[in-house]
Structure 1
Amino acid sequence: MKNNNLKKFLKGMTLPIVATLWLVGCSNSNNSSMIASVNGEEITEDELNETLTTQYGTEVLDTLITNKIIELEAKELGVSVSEEELQKEYDEYASRYGGEDALLELLDSYGMDVDDVKKDMETYLLTFKVMEDDLGITEEEIKTYFEENKETYGKAAEVEASHILVEDETTAQEVIDKLNAGGDFAELAKEYSTDTANNEDGGNLGYFGTGEMAEAFETAAFAMEVGEVSSEPVETEYGFHIIKVTDKIEGKEAVFDEVKDTVYQDLLAAKVNEQYSTWVTEKMSEYDIVNKLTD
C-alpha cells in the first residue's frame, strides 16, 4: 500500500515548482522586462507568465484551493502534524532516494529545497488526519483487510548465502576439490568468481527470499543447511555456482493482534486514495470558493 501512497505524493511533488513560477508571475504582472531573446527578438516576463498561467494555472490553483480546504478542515477538527511525524515521513522519503544527500541533490536540480518537500508532506499527512473520521473504519474492516493481505504482514523465509560463479563445470569442480581439501571459500571466491559485484567480498549475496534468485540456485540454497557448501555445482543461465549457506531466517505467519496498527494504517491509506477525489469534491461544495481563472 505504501507504494501507491508514494506515487500519489510524488505526483504532487512537481506542483510547488510550477506554483512558484506562476505566483511569481502574478506578483510581477506589470513587469514586461526581457528574460530571453532569440536573434534579438525578446521574450518578456509577461509572455512567460501568460504561458505558465495558460498551461498550468488551473491545475496549480486547484491544488492550492484543495490544500487550503485541508488546512481549514484541520483547524476545525483541531488536528495537526507534529514535528516527529513530519521528520519520520521525511526520513522514510529520503531513504527511498538513497539517503538525504541524494534527495537534496535531486531537489536542487528542480530548484526546490527541504522546506518545499516538508510543506507538501505536511499537507499529505494532514489529509489522512482530516479524512480519518469521515471514513469511519471498523474493526471488522481491519480484520477483513488483514485476511485478504495476510501474506503481506507475515515474515517470509530468507537465506543468507555466498557463491562462487564460474563459466564451466570443469572449473567449478576444480573449486569444489580445493574446498574439500580445506580451501577458504572467501579466498577462492576472490580468485575464481566471475561475479564482480561480490567476489571481493567473498561472494557474499546477503539475504534473499523466494523469487529473487534464479530458480535452480534458489532451490538449492533453501534446501541446504547453515554452514553447508554445495557438493555439486548448480547450473543457471549465468554459469555454474558453488553455494555456501551462512544463515537462515524461518518464515513466520502474521498474527492479527501483532500487526493490527500497521494493517489499520494501510487500510486507511487505501481508503484515502480511493475516496480522495470524491471527498475533495464534496468539501468544495461546502466552501465559498472564488476562482478568477475559471469564474
Structure 2
Amino acid sequence: MTRQEKGLLAAVVVLTISVLVLGGLIGYRGLQPARDNGETGADSTDEESRAAAIIGDDTISEQEWVEELKKRYGKNTLLEMLNRKAIALEAKSRGIQVTQQEIQERLKKQMEGYVSEEAYYEEMQNQFGLSRDDLIVEAMYRISLEKIAVLGISIDDKQVDRYIKEHLDEYNSLKQMDLAWITVDNKSEAEDILDRLESGGDFAELAHTYSTDEFTRDNGGSLGWTDESDPFLPDTVMETARTLNVGESAGPVEVPDGYVIVYVRDIRTENTESPQEIRQEVRRELALQQAGPLDDLEQSLRSKYGAQITTDFPSS
C-alpha cells in the first residue's frame, strides 16, 4: 500500500466514525428532557408525534426517528462522546496542547490524492456531510489522543534511519501527469493533426473533432491524472509522455488500435514532504506502534475518569 493509499484509508476510517457520531448526536439531542419553559404534557406528546418525514400516506414521527437512531448509533455515540471528554481531561492534566500548525499538517496529509484543498473539502461535505469545522475538531481529537499515547516513548535516529531504508519506495517522490490524447486509425491522419497543432490548433477542439476514442473525445481527450508508470496505458504512450514538458504534445505514437497524439496538460509530484518532515512522520508512526491500540487507551481513560452509561438502549 502506498503512502497515498494509507492516507486516504485513514481519512475514510476517521470520517466514517465521525459520520456515526454526528448522525447519532441528532437522536441523542432529541432524547433530552424538555426544558421547564411552560410546555405542557400535550405539547410534549405533539412533539413526539410530529412528522419527521412523509412518504405517500405514511409518516415517520420524530419519536420513531429518534428511537431508530438511538438503537443503531446510540451506544457508539455515547462512547465517542465519553472518549472526547476523557481525552480532553487527560490532555489538560498532562499539559498537552494541539497547535494550529499540527492541525493543518494533519489535514494536509488527509488531502493527499485530491487535486486541491477545495476539492477535498467539497468531497468531505458532499460524501460525508462534514464541514471544515467538523474536520478540524476530529483532527484535534486524533492528535491529542496520539500525543497522550506516545508519552514516555522515545524513538532514536537509528530506528528512524532503519525504517526509512526498509521502506524507501514509500518515500520516493512520484511524478504524475495530467494527460490528454487523440486517437486515430492511421499515421497520416495523426501527422495531419500534429501539423494543425503546430499551427496553433486547440488540442481539445481537435480531439473532439477527430479522436476515435469515444470515452475521451467529448472531454478534450482528457485522461486525467496518471502515474508516470501507469500500467493501464500503452507503454509507448507513457514513454513518450515522460519526455514532454507541460503544454507539449508528441506523436504519432503507434498503439495496437492505431496511432496516438499525446499531450501533457500538467505535471505534479505527489510527495512534497521535506526530509525533516519525513523523519518526523516516521518517528510518530514508530512511537504509535510501540504505544499499542488507541482503542485500548480510550477505554482505559474512560475508566480512569469514571465514565458510565446510565441509559438503556432498544434491542437491535
Q: Could you give the per-residue CA deviations for residues 264-291 of structure 1, whole angstroms, max 9, x where no partner exists?
A: 345456667x621232233344332222
Query: Secondary structure of the equivalent of 1:66?
Result: helix
Aligned equivalents of 1:245, 1:101: Cα separation in 2: 22
The aligned residue for residue 45 of structure 2 is 32
1:275 counterpart (283, 293, 304): 293
Of 88, 100, 105, which residue of structure 2 is paired with 1:83?
A: 100
Counterpart for residue 9 of structure 2: 4
Give the equivalent residue in structure 1 for 2:255. Answer: 235
Work out which of the residue numbers 190, 201, 204 in structure 2 matches 1:187.
201
Q: Tell me the equivalent position of 1:220.
A: 239
1:168 maps to which of 185, 189, 204: 185
Q: SS of 2:98's equivalent? A: coil
Question: Aligned-pair distance for 1:61?
Answer: 0.8
* CA distance, structure 2, for counterparts of residue 161 and residue 103 of structure 1: 25
Q: What is the TM-score when the length of structure 1 is the normalising length? A: 0.71
Change (3 A) 1:9 1:161: closer
| Structure 2 equivalent of residue 133 of structure 1 | 151
Map of 2:91 onto structure 1: 74
Query: Structure 1: 5+ residue runs without aligned partners?
Result: none
Shift of 1:76: 1.7
What does residue 74 of structure 2 align with? Answer: 57
Query: Paired residues, what number?
Result: 283
Q: 1:77 to 1:4 in 2, by over 3 A?
A: farther
CA distance in 2, matches of 1:242, 1:39: 56
Matches within 5 A, 1:13-32: 13-28=18-33, 31-32=44-45
- Give the alignment's TM-score, normalised by structure 2: 0.67
Cα shift readout 1:156-194 (whole Å, capped 9, x = no counterpart) = 45678764x23302xx32332675x79617627443652
Instruction: Name the structure 1 match of 2:220.
Output: 198
Give the aligned partner of residue 210 of structure 1.
Answer: 229
Going from structure 1 to structure 2, the CA distance change for 1:151 and 1:52 (only over 3 Å counts) comes to: same
Unaligned ranges ≥5, structure 2: 1-5, 35-40, 212-216
| Distance in structure 2 (CA, Å) of the matches to 1:127 and 1:246 | 42
Shift of 1:235: 0.8
The CA distance in 2 between the partners of 1:119 and 1:225, in whole Å, is: 43
Percentage of matched positions with identical amino acids: 16
Residue 6 (structure 1) shift: 0.9
How far is 1:80 from its partner?
Answer: 1.6
Partner amino acid for 1:152? E
- Per mean C-alpha deviation after superposition, the further-off stretch among 128-137 and 98-107 is 98-107
How many Å separate the matches in 2 of 1:133 and 1:79?
A: 10
Correspondence for 1:291: 309
Distance 2:80 2:261 in 1: 56
